[in-house]
Chains A and B, each alone.
Chain A
Amino acid sequence: MDLTIGPIAFFWSAETVRAFYRTLAASPARRVVIGEWVCSKRLPFWQQEIPGAVECLQAAGKEVALSTLTLITLRRERRQTEELFATGLPVEIADLGALKHLPEGMPFQVGPLVNVYNEGTLEWLARKGATRICLPPELPLASVATLAAAGAAAGLAVEVWGHGRAPLAISGRCYHARLHDRAKDSCQFVCGEDPDGRDVETLEGVPFLTVNGVQTLGHSHTTAAGQIDALREAGVSSLRLSPQIGDFAGLVRFYDRIAQGGTPRAQALAGLRRLMPQASLADGFLAGAPGASLAD
């Protein structure tokens, strides 16, 4: 299995983005997906970094794709989607509506927030020109195995959520702005103040969710580290790592090591804990259990 770096979910400054992709260029990741994934209001603040990042990553031998938004609603957002397909770079769709703009016959990739739950959907997308699909994070291993087999038969690569806070929901409403008693239209970009999202706890102080603008993530870091061998056996070809603040390069190196297989579950999770001592880990989705749980 190789590694795919997903789009940055959070609102990072242009400088942070630039430094992040420079570091990634030297990492063992095989491919990188770049683009504003969550809120189109953020894009003007960092889009000037995209061409340089693409160039730097390609020069380092990475495959690069551009991601659409997760929720394409406004006219401006739809125009931007259309423009993505005109760049000549591979496009990863995060919303099925993007297919409206797909030039006839152009191959494309499918991100984890497009609902690919079964062979029928996967095969239809393959016929339409999909070359890679990252499956939704909530799918259990049995479904992943069925879909990986269907993907192999249809000639497309199947990827799963490898590491990062799982994207659980997207809304027209901005919960980040709401936490500052503001509306989405007057948000003053408060999500940029929390580069790993804003924690949400239960009333008894149990960490639960993370707010990231219009997106809601799990608080725990969802990891496939404990199920690498099962995923390899199922025919999954890539693990998706979701960018986060901290030693992300160290995480990429860690996953590159264990993606080759043969690391026992307990050892893989222990290794991850050493890298992220403060973080809670979860892998319930793959086990068909509550996503927040860690089958340990």
Chain B
Amino acid sequence: MMELVCPAGTPAALRAAVDAGAHTVYCGFANETNARNFPGLNFSAQELAEGVAYAAARGARVLVAINTFPRAGDQAIWHRAVAEARAAGAHAVILADLGLIAHAAEAHPDLRLHLSVQAAANPDAINFYAETFGIRRVVLPRVLTVEEITAINREIDVETEVFVFGGLCVMAEGRCSLSSYATGLSPNMNGVCSPASHVVYGEVGGQNEARLGGFLIHRRPKGAPAPYPTLCKGCFTAPATATGAAQTGHLFEDPVSLDATELIPRLRRAGVTALKIEGRQRSRAYVAQVVRAFRAAVEAVEAGAPLPSGLLAKLTEGQAATTGAYAKTWR
């Protein structure tokens, strides 16, 4: 059966995910070492050890994401996180930074290493990391088509894990400074993208506005659904040029989320080992619902049965969903 890798932002969400049928749960420490460094979220070393024990007792495994890029002069914080994850009994750590991967491979040769989506690894990079550091699994960037994933799996010897549900990055992950350009805080350095601390909502002329770092990201009529002002999903204008007409709209991406449920059979044929659900910032109830739905889906695919339909419609919160880059037309 395809492995289901599920998010947990809190110990309660971890237990909910395991109870709902997650094969694997991923989480992070409550500091800047992980890319969901949000207030009130994530684990202490003690909570992680308890979570690993809870999961192990039910046949599930825990991965620890240490997937920001260590700050110059402060690498010890990240090195400590790797050591604590290993001590807590984590099945693997998910890393993005070359130097941190080199450190983990050297200091903890028995620790299983996964390459984070934040490493934005293409086939050459995957092979480089596998040959140099013994990386065992790679989380593929959300910019690849199913055909490319198939080709990659033919060329590499490490397992692949792909995102199937939740937030959608439209830029190569781990290589994006849009957020720090507007706010000073970035996923790579601070573990946050378009952080709530820099969002200001306002009302002007009967319209709701959302700003990020002072830049207007959305303006919607009052009462219309107002998406969170994530920079790359904002509404902008490209003024007319000599050869191009003016365009106003979601020039990079609509405020959509990823739902690749229908592609699970093709991803399985493509040789993908594990399906990943985004959302460590989500509630325990949400996690349980999504995990249950996806567990039913992977079981159906395994049995050769049709996919259960409409399982997740409620969960996209009225937002449009997309199969993203997996379909070539997205580009």
* Interface residue ranges, A against B (CB under 8 Å): 70-73, 75, 78, 81, 95-101, 113, 115, 117-125, 136-139, 142-143, 146-147, 150, 166, 168-175, 178-180, 183-185, 190, 193-194, 198-206, 208-209, 211, 216, 218, 284-285, 288-292
Q: How far is the CB of A174 from chain B (nearest CB, A)?
A: 6
Residues of A within 8 A of B217 (CB): 202
Residues of B within 8 A of A203 (CB): 216, 219, 235-237, 248
Residues of A within 8 A of B151 (CB): 75
**Nearest 3 A/B pairs, CB to CB:** A120-B99, A172-B143, A97-B124
Kindly list 17 other residue pairs between chains A and B, CB separation below 8 angstroms, not including A119-B75, A136-B177. A71-B120, A73-B122, A95-B122, A96-B125, A97-B125, A100-B127, A115-B188, A118-B69, A119-B72, A138-B177, A139-B72, A150-B72, A180-B244, A200-B237, A200-B251, A202-B215, A290-B180
Residues of A within 8 A of B69 (CB): 115, 117-118, 121
Q: Give the docked Cα–Cα distance between A174 and B329 (Å).
A: 11
Tell whether B123 is near chain A: CB-to-CB under 8 Å: yes
Tell whether B285 is near chain A: CB-to-CB under 8 Å: no
Of the candidates A75, A179, A211, A290, the one whose C-beta lies within 8 Å of that of B213 is A290
Assess whether B143 is in contact with A169, with CB atoms less than 8 Å apart.
no
**Nearest residue in A to B69 (C-beta to C-beta)?**
A117
Assess whether B171 is in contact with A216, with CB atoms less than 8 Å apart.
yes
Residues of A within 8 A of B237 (CB): 200-203, 205
Q: How far is the CB of A23 from chain B (nearest CB, A)?
A: 24
Residues of B within 8 A of A285 (CB): 177, 180-181
Q: Give the docked Cα–Cα distance between A96 and B118 (Å).
A: 13
Tell whether B263 is near chain A: CB-to-CB under 8 Å: no
Q: Would A166 and B238 be within 8 Å (CB), given that A97-B122, A117-B189 are in contact?
A: no
**Nearest residue in B to A287 (C-beta to C-beta)?**
B184
Assess whether B171 is in contact with A143, with CB atoms less than 8 Å apart.
no
**Nearest residue in B to A193 (C-beta to C-beta)?**
B243
**Nearest residue in B to A148 (C-beta to C-beta)?**
B72
5 contacts between A and B (CB under 8 A): A72-B122, A73-B122, A121-B102, A138-B189, A218-B181
Assess whether B75 is in contact with A120, with CB atoms less than 8 Å apart.
yes
Assess whether A290 is in contact with B184, with CB atoms less than 8 Å apart.
yes
Of the candidates A73, A124, A216, the one whose C-beta lies within 8 Å of that of B99 is A124
Tell whether B331 is near chain A: CB-to-CB under 8 Å: yes
Assess whether B236 is in contact with A200, with CB atoms less than 8 Å apart.
yes
- Residues 64 to 96 of chain B near chain A (Cβ within 8 Å): 69-73, 75, 96
Tell whether B239 is near chain A: CB-to-CB under 8 Å: yes
Of the candidates A70, A72, A137, A143, the one whose C-beta lies within 8 Å of that of B73 is A143
Q: Give the docked Cα–Cα distance between A248 and B54 (Å).
A: 62
Tell whether B159 is near chain A: CB-to-CB under 8 Å: no
Q: Would A138 and B186 be within 8 Å (CB), given that A97-B125, A118-B99, A169-B177 are in contact?
A: yes
Q: Would A124 and B122 be within 8 Å (CB), given that A173-B170, A203-B237 are in contact?
A: no
Assess whether A71 is in contact with B172, with CB atoms less than 8 Å apart.
yes
Q: Give the docked Cα–Cα distance between A170 and B169 (Å).
A: 11
Assess whether B71 is in contact with A143, with CB atoms less than 8 Å apart.
yes
Tell whether B58 is near chain A: CB-to-CB under 8 Å: no
Residues of A within 8 A of B103 (CB): 120
**Nearest residue in B to A290 (C-beta to C-beta)?**
B184
Of the candidates A97, A117, A288, the one whose C-beta lies within 8 Å of that of B123 is A97
Q: Would A185 and B98 be within 8 Å (CB), given that A118-B72, A285-B180, A290-B181 are in contact?
A: no
Of the candidates A118, A199, A288, the one whose C-beta lies within 8 Å of that of B70 is A118
**Nearest residue in A to B124 (C-beta to C-beta)?**
A97
Assess whether B72 is in contact with A190, with CB atoms less than 8 Å apart.
no
Assess whether B178 is in contact with A143, with CB atoms less than 8 Å apart.
no
Of the candidates B125, B141, B183, B215, the one whose C-beta lies within 8 Å of that of A100 is B125
**Nearest residue in A to B180 (C-beta to C-beta)?**
A138
Tell whether B19 is near chain A: CB-to-CB under 8 Å: no
Of the candidates B119, B174, B331, the one whose C-beta lies within 8 Å of that of A172 is B331
Q: Would A208 and B215 be within 8 Å (CB), given that A115-B98, A169-B178, A216-B171 are in contact?
A: yes
Tell whether B330 is near chain A: CB-to-CB under 8 Å: yes
Q: How far is the CB of A253 from chain B (nearest CB, A)?
A: 28
Tell whether B241 is near chain A: CB-to-CB under 8 Å: yes
Q: How far is the CB of A115 from chain B (nearest CB, A)?
A: 6
Q: Give the docked Cα–Cα distance between A121 and B172 (Å).
A: 20
Q: How far is the CB of B181 from chain A (nearest CB, A)?
A: 4
Assess whether A201 is in contact with B143, with CB atoms less than 8 Å apart.
no
Tell whether B56 is near chain A: CB-to-CB under 8 Å: no
Q: Give the docked Cα–Cα distance between A150 and B73 (Å).
A: 10
